[in-house]
Structure 1
Amino acid sequence: MSFDYFLGANTPLGFVPTFSDLTQRAEHLVIIKGGPGCGKSTAMRRIAEACESWGMPVERIRCSSDPASLDGVYLPALDTLYVDGTAPHVIEPSYPGAREQIWNLGECWDQGMLEARRGEIEALSREISRAYTAAYRFLRALGEVMEERRQQAMETADGEKLLRRAARIAESRIPHRRGAAEGRVIRIFLDALTPAGPLSLGDFSDWTVTELYDPEGLSGTVTGPVLSAARAAGYTVYAAHDPLLPHGAPLHLVIPELHWVLLTSGGLFGAAHTGARRIRLDLMKKDGVDTAPGRERELRELCRRLMELSSGSLGKAKRLHDELEALYRPAVDFRAVDRQVMGQIDRLKEAFTDKTRDSQWS
């Protein structure tokens, strides 16, 4: 089963990448280099579409600053990752040629044309940087307000009830496997603050879904223990973190081997899932404790306003980046890019055909 996700997000700490969990573990890594507008995302989209036409599962890695673009494509059947290796998630090879390949689309541009527009390129790049700086200022403020909300919620939550609920979820959903090696964790984001506002990915209509309704930021008390149980049972877990708390407990868990997802909804991120079993964490309160609903409403409204301001700055950065791409595009020989893309697709088809033939004989 395939699904889309992010491997980086705009957060109160700035841009936080999580590419390393895949780049360090994929058997084959193709690092794509090149400038804005030279066809990196389009190349990966074409590769993904070709692989799907052969019946191969594909995981698309979206760009949180422009969700219509791709930052990467992972092909589990071949354990192969194509990834944009340029800023803000610069990736360099550790074993060049042996494990990683460099795919340089910069070979397809006219250096002279770009040098002639150097002043415009540098000016736009500085404006983009300033727009991101403004976005991160608002995001830092948003992170502080979110932490205040979470601390307030923790004071009234019944921690023992939350932990018991986590144990029941793990017991009912994660089969024990005796002697299994510890499972791997791949850190991702299913949610992002984008130029168009908050966005939650994940079409899990064909999966079994358990939904945690959590408007107060308590779900980590449940997802953390469930993640530990899944790892102990030897399962690979995609741990999807909260963009506003990127180093905290995950917001969602995806376990492909079990075709099961633990999703959080009700907060600033995370949409409700039709047909999911819903568990209401907001009802797991200590007896006789004032929950101060008026203050919570004020903080929630402040969060929404700060998200709007952050999104506005990200939108400005995207508009400027679109202008930067427009400067680069006329200098790119897209026929040369197309030849390189077809070469990659041919190699993948050969590898997939060989693997399919070998599996039929084994």
Structure 2
Amino acid sequence: MKTNANSMTNSVDFFMGALGPKGFQGYFDWLDTQEQVPLYLIKAGPGCGKSTLMTRLAQASPLPVERIHCSSDPDSLDGVIFSRPRAAIIDATAPHTVEPAYPGAVQKVVDLHHALDNDYLTAHRGEIVALFRRCSALQEQAGRSIRAASSLLDDSRRLAAPLVNEEKLLGWARRLGSRRLPRTGHPASESIRLLSAVTPKGRMVFMNTVETLADEYIVLHDEQGAAAPLALALLRQMALERGYSIITCPCPLREDAIDHLFIPELRLAFLTGNSWHSMDLENLQNVHCTRFLEKGGPRSLRARLRFDRKAAAELLKMASEAQRQAKASHDELESYYRTAADFSRLDEIAEQLTKTLFA
């Protein structure tokens, strides 16, 4: 499912966490440990205005921002990353809990808990606890479906892997990198983002982000995922060695595999194309990874690969349905917290942060 942003021109959209084969995989700590971005950490319950606060700050920014969406509710934000001043504000509660390592000096906690009517919440604790448990159970159910789908997709990769001519593949990737990535002499840097995720709305891919970050696209079509990740790993290494600031997008359904690689300085993107994210773009160069497979390859395995693909697709639909039900329960949960929240306090915090960030 493609998405289009309707807000600020040239702002981009990503996920930074999603359900994967080993449960929730998040990259929020990357901002702190690798990118060393000053962080505002929001601590609050559901429905207390975290996403609203971040949306207001994104809209107040005079420059484009990165909007980080919640994979459990893509219409809500998990974070906003500002370009100037370089800073970020994120939802630092579970499942992407981030605690301040240097409170006040580097990370600043934005605590909204004190704006809650605890007496009201205590009076409804039975309903609230039941809804929290239902949300958790449904997310676990979604996670089991994703884990099973990932296992099937990995089965396809293992079947195709022995057929990949790695020497031919990596030789092609090395020549491509040498031609398209001239040395800069600058220090390199890397950001980790997710371009896609399994959500209550199905598999979502932020195509608006692709078109914002790049004008030229090299798409590696690889249904089984046996060849493209190897080429992308080499291109990533070359880009870093040659001094580029890159955005690496891991595969949310497979560990240690890269789906996409952006070189914003060159307005260039290396993308993976398959059933899960077709790339319908202008100015693209299509590279069909079957050219790197030995003859007599996937055709002999066609029935098995077709089964894996169809079964994985059904399991991912089941995962999205469980997430949809979890979101419905979470929406009901949020109604209790919205009633208990003092949103005038949220207005004060939003105004103060806007002045701090953009004065």
CA contact (8 A) 2:85 2:358 kept: no
For 1:249, the aligned partner's letter is A
CA contact (8 A) 1:44 1:73 kept: yes
Aligned counterpart in structure 2 of residue 11 of structure 1, from 8, 16, 20: 20
* Superposition deviation, residue 156 in structure 1: 2.2
TM norm structure 2: 0.91
- Cα distance in 2 for partners of 1:3, 1:314 equals 24
Q: Tell me the equivalent position of 1:343.
A: 352
- Cα distance in 1 for partners of 2:148, 2:193 equals 23
Instruction: Give CA deviations for 1:218-248 in whole Å, capped at 9, x if unaligned.
Output: 3101100000001111222211011111x31
CA contact (8 A) 2:92 2:99 kept: yes
* Superposition deviation, residue 135 in structure 1: 1.1
* Superposition deviation, residue 132 in structure 1: 1.2
Instruction: Give CA deviations for 1:154-175 in whole Å, capped at 9, x if unaligned.
Output: 1222222221221132122212
* Superposition deviation, residue 76 in structure 1: 2.1
Q: Tell me the equivalent position of 2:182.
A: 175
SS in 2 for 1:248: coil
Aligned counterpart in structure 1 of residue 302 of structure 2, from 285, 293, 303: 293
Q: Tell me the equivalent position of 2:194.
A: 189
CA contact (8 A) 2:31 2:37 kept: no
Q: Tell me the equivalent position of 1:205.
A: 211
* Superposition deviation, residue 276 in structure 1: 1.5
* Superposition deviation, residue 119 in structure 1: 1.0
- Cα distance in 1 for partners of 2:327, 2:104 equals 34
* Superposition deviation, residue 270 in structure 1: 4.9
Aligned counterpart in structure 1 of residue 42 of structure 2, from 32, 40, 46: 32
- Cα distance in 2 for partners of 1:270, 1:189 equals 16
Q: Tell me the equivalent position of 2:53.
A: 43
TM norm structure 1: 0.91
CA contact (8 A) 2:27 2:192 kept: yes
SS in 2 for 1:78: coil
- Cα distance in 2 for partners of 1:300, 1:124 equals 34
For 2:159, the aligned partner's letter is Q
For 1:283, the aligned partner's letter is R
Counterpart mapping for 1:1-362 below 5 A: 2-24=11-33, 25-51=35-61, 54=62, 56-178=63-185, 180-181=186-187, 183-203=188-208, 204-206=210-212, 207=214, 208-217=216-225, 218-245=227-254, 247-289=255-297, 291=299, 292-350=301-359
Instruction: Give CA deviations for 1:182-228 in whole Å, capped at 9, x if unaligned.
Output: x2222221110001111111423352222111212131011000000
- Cα distance in 1 for partners of 2:183, 2:298 equals 40
- Are residues 26 and 289 of structure 1, via their aligned partners in 2, closer, same or farther at CA, if it must alter by over 3 Å? closer
Name the Cα RMSD after superposition.
Answer: 1.6
For 2:72, the aligned partner's letter is S
- 5+ residue gaps, structure 2: 1-9
- 5+ residue gaps, structure 1: 351-362
* Superposition deviation, residue 262 in structure 1: 1.2
CA contact (8 A) 2:160 2:297 kept: no
Question: What percentage of aligned pairs have identical amino acids?
Answer: 35
